[in-house]
Structure 1
Amino acid sequence: MLLALSVIATQIATIIRVLLRPHRDPASRISWVAVVLAVPVVGVIGYLLMGETSIGRRRAARVRLALEALPPPVSDPAPDVPPRYEQLFHAGRSISGYPPVGGNTARLAEDSNAAIVGLVADIDAATDHVHVLFYIWLDDGNGLRVVEALRRAARRGVACRAMVDDIGSRALVRSPHWAAMEGDGVRLARALRVGFPLLRPLQGRIDLRDHRKIVVIDNRITWCGSQNCADPEFRVKPRFAPWVDTMMRLEGPIALQNQHLFASDWMSWGGDDISALLRDACEGSGEGFAAQVIASGPTERNSAMPEIFQTLIYAARRELVVTTPYYVPNGPLQAALCAAGHRGVATTLVVPARNDNWAVAAASRSYYADLLAAGVRLLEYPLGLLHAKTLTLDGEVTLIGSANMDRRSFDLNYENNILLQDPATTAAVRARQEAYIAASREVTREEVAAWPAWRRLWNNTVAVVSPLL
């Protein structure tokens, strides 16, 4: 009897915590309450381990102190942004504090291997510093090309700093190449260290990760996109290969904003103070375009990333094209895409035909029927795992970066993206999207309507559970 009362009291206390926890959407609250009531012990333990998005008080304090120590990046005068797009950059600034800066230029890498070739060339040409941050960095062909480039740069006196996520890049950290970089003078850091796995959950959720991909060279060049530092064959999940990514090389004042973001992570997770670099101005091109870094994460404003996606989707008037590997939206984001289709915007969503995450694959397909009914063109890419995270609207605005359209990117990961307004650069991204579309198979309303009941039941069940993850 005493044990039963203890379980009931624990259930009640956990449910109260679920209901009082700030920044939680109603669907997630309902799901957790149902689980705690249905399976009391498992539900309570599950909530304590996976139900909250806290990195821990000490870590949060370190992030706050690092940001307070950093001066804002030097900004050029406000660029000439068309009035119809000013609201987009206002929304971005409200999240990360970075204003749009003008005078930027960009080049889209042809493919994943070409991106590494270009990155290595930039490292080899660096004269002052090279800063690199990747979620996943493998000790494969492309990964070691970057390792060797950093070692060469460090040996010739360039200040090199390399940072990885402690889980995503654990294989490299444990390899001799990590120590070899340090031996040649590359300064190293690991974001969100796990430590002893059994104790880590007591200090903050273990699966909150640094998913960013940032490269900054000499305060004037930066790389941004979806690509991890690895071969497209991605040997850790070879049966889904190749990984199909999009990377962009940008030059101009936008590099200083990515520098600020790198510095905040670097100084949060044990790196030296590099705030002095942010006091250097980077002159832009008079013919360049407006761009802005948009960062999100567990210590940033809640729901920042889905808010940006929704803002961009509602701003589209003629055309909207989205590529994402993981489409598990919250309610408002799904509604925004459907609304775009309903109001006559030519809306296209491209996702992988085969996903490396079975739960995401099932949950994604639960949204197909409503998207197709709204007039959204839906395609599945069959030639590997389409990992590119891109959004273009009306042929003039592009969002590119690391964030997916799923809860992990919305609430659990540190992400980095760049928003830019430029018809020429957007045309290049749009051409890449069109190449994905041309290789894809279109999903029809008739096809989805013909799915057997067991398949719809499976997809919808996984989608119902997704707010717990």
Structure 2
Amino acid sequence: MTAQIDFETLWYASEWLIRFGALATVPLRRSPSAATSWLLLIFFFPALGLLLYLFIGRPRVPVARQKRARELRTFQLDVARRLKNDSCGDRSEAADFAQKLGRMPCVDGNSIELISDYDAVVERLLADIRSAKYAVDLLVYIFADDVVGKRIAAELGEAVQRGVRCRVMFDPIGSHRWRRGTLSLLRDAGVETREALPVHLILRRTRADMRNHRKLFVIDGLIGYAGSQNLVAKDFRPGVVNRELVARMSGPVVASLASTISSDWAMEALDRPDPFPVAIPAGSGELRAQLLPSGADYPFEGFETLLVWQLHRARQRAVLVTPYFIPDESIIGAMCSAASRGVMIDLVVSSVVDQRIVHLAQCSYFEQLLAAGIRIHLYRELLLHAKNASIDRDLGIVGSSNVDFRSFQLNEEASLLLYDRSIIDRLIEIQDGYILASDSLALDSWRSRPRLQQLSENIARIMSPLL
């Protein structure tokens, strides 16, 4: 009996120690909403909350990774310096600000094609690998050993036989369903393979929920791809078919993509810590473009910071396209402020649901946005996984970043910034196509949705900083 009492007392005391410890540590370097969510979880479920916090909740980047990032910064700045000769002659404030956020400059002389057909992206990439002469570098969140992955691996294997150096880096969490098969598939083809931000239960080098979410492909240092598409079949989820948007480009901006891939490879490649050299391609067109990398190795939340600033400066129209919309206060404030000034704001999300809790959380924001005059469109039939934005025909953004806490503060992301009317108008044409294929929400009907749904949304919203 005494032993039982002692154990119960010890357990009770330990729970309160966890709660008081959480009050002292959780709010540090964390937004009020995120801190509130963690504290609620820990106060109601101390043991479970502590385990989750230790695994995915600590906001610090390991010291070793911080040191490595500082070492690689010299390499990135050298590439940026060599790109200076191709820098935009007529740079906008956005371009200068984006360089401060992501280190890479805006450069002239690029050709860019926006591809919204999933299968067409796969075929173009296969053709480019087939024509490669020197090197192929693929950095991607998901690389599956399904029909798409096998076709790409086979083409990479053929390139290796021709003497082309082929490297693939994929995220082990994003690719967890296929991880073992993918490693075997690529290594059997002679492809150099690396996992981004590997997860280890013991002696972890970084937080388990910090992921490399970038999708960047470079062939011979001359052709680059950036966007939202992974290397997996478009219907890899049962009953769900993805629609994406990818920019295929040539010209000096490809060096920015190559620099990011090389830095990420060197961050994880302990056997080769020096980044692979990056050459600056000659101009191949007339378009200005700029890569904005973001993530824990950068001092600010680059994509979010730029987006909030642009929304506050918007004058006519802004379109945001994202599959996962879980904004923080700054995004909500910027959108509502712009709408109050008479700016037309279109938010395009998918009506097809692949992550139920995330969907409920994003729905909890809709009433506030609709009341502010923001138009919300639910894309029908396919999962609109594309991530892009346009502001006033002055700035276009195509990349991998969602409008959510995870993409803003945890994931490694990459966004291609577009500054010329011709390519931005093409992006707006694609976005308007999304809207035509969507159902628009009305405030009155949205307010009349079932009470149980509203309750579920509110509960999910409390959890949103943890998603």
| TM-score, normalised via structure 1 length | 0.91
Equivalence for 2:87: 78
- CA deviation after TM superposition for structure 1 residue 335, in Å: 1.3
1:13 corresponds to 2:12: no
Q: Which amino acid aligns with 2:88?
A: P
Equivalence for 2:40: 34
Q: Is the alpha carbon distance of 1:50 and 1:187 closer, same or farther for their aligned partners in structure 2, counting shifts above 3 Å?
A: closer
Cα pair 2:210 2:411 within 8 Å, conserved: yes
- CA deviation after TM superposition for structure 1 residue 268, in Å: 0.8
Note the 1:13-412 alignment, pairs <5 A: 13-19=21-27, 21-22=28-29, 24-69=30-75, 72-73=78-79, 74-75=82-83, 76-81=85-90, 86-175=92-181, 178-195=183-200, 197=201, 199=202, 204-234=206-236, 237-239=237-239, 241-270=240-269, 272=272, 275=275, 277-278=277-278, 280-285=279-284, 288-412=286-410
Q: Which amino acid aligns with 1:251?
A: S
Cα pair 2:292 2:302 within 8 Å, conserved: no
Q: Which amino acid aligns with 2:134?
A: D
- CA deviation after TM superposition for structure 1 residue 58, in Å: 3.4
What SS does the corresponding residue of 2:58 show, helix, strand or coil? Answer: coil
- CA deviation after TM superposition for structure 1 residue 3, in Å: 4.7
Work out the CA distance in 2 between the residues paired with 1:35 and 1:242: 34
Compare 139-148 and 326-335 and name the one that shifted more.
139-148
Residue segments in structure 2 that go unaligned for 5+ positions in a row: 1-8
Q: Is the alpha carbon distance of 1:340 and 1:71 closer, same or farther for their aligned partners in structure 2, counting shifts above 3 Å?
A: closer
Q: Is the alpha carbon distance of 1:56 and 1:275 closer, same or farther for their aligned partners in structure 2, counting shifts above 3 Å?
A: closer
Deviations 1:29-73 (A, max 9, x none): 223233333333333333222322345333444444344455621
Deviations 1:372-404 (A, max 9, x none): 112111110121110000101222421010000
- CA deviation after TM superposition for structure 1 residue 180, in Å: 4.7
The higher relative CO (CA closer than 8 Å, separation ≥ 6) is in 1
Cα pair 2:318 2:389 within 8 Å, conserved: yes
What SS does the corresponding residue of 1:32 show, helix, strand or coil? Answer: helix
Equivalence for 2:428: 430
Work out the CA distance in 2 between the residues paired with 1:304 and 1:168: 22
Deviations 1:196-242 (A, max 9, x none): x4x36x654212211110101122211000000112112xx222x21
Deviations 1:391-430 (A, max 9, x none): 0122242101000011111122111111110111112211
Q: Is the alpha carbon distance of 1:68 and 1:80 closer, same or farther for their aligned partners in structure 2, counting shifts above 3 Å?
A: closer
Cα pair 1:81 1:290 within 8 Å, conserved: no
Q: Is the alpha carbon distance of 1:150 and 1:365 closer, same or farther for their aligned partners in structure 2, counting shifts above 3 Å?
A: same
Equivalence for 2:443: 445
What SS does the corresponding residue of 1:467 show, helix, strand or coil? Answer: helix
Deviations 1:430-468 (A, max 9, x none): 111121111111111111121232222221221122123
Work out the CA distance in 2 between the residues paired with 1:431 and 1:388: 14
Cα pair 2:144 2:179 within 8 Å, conserved: no
Cα pair 2:352 2:381 within 8 Å, conserved: no
Report the count of equivalent residues: 455
Work out the CA distance in 1 between the residues paired with 2:47 and 2:195: 34
Residue segments in structure 1 that go unaligned for 5+ positions in a row: none
| TM-score, normalised via structure 2 length | 0.92
What SS does the corresponding residue of 2:465 show, helix, strand or coil? Answer: helix
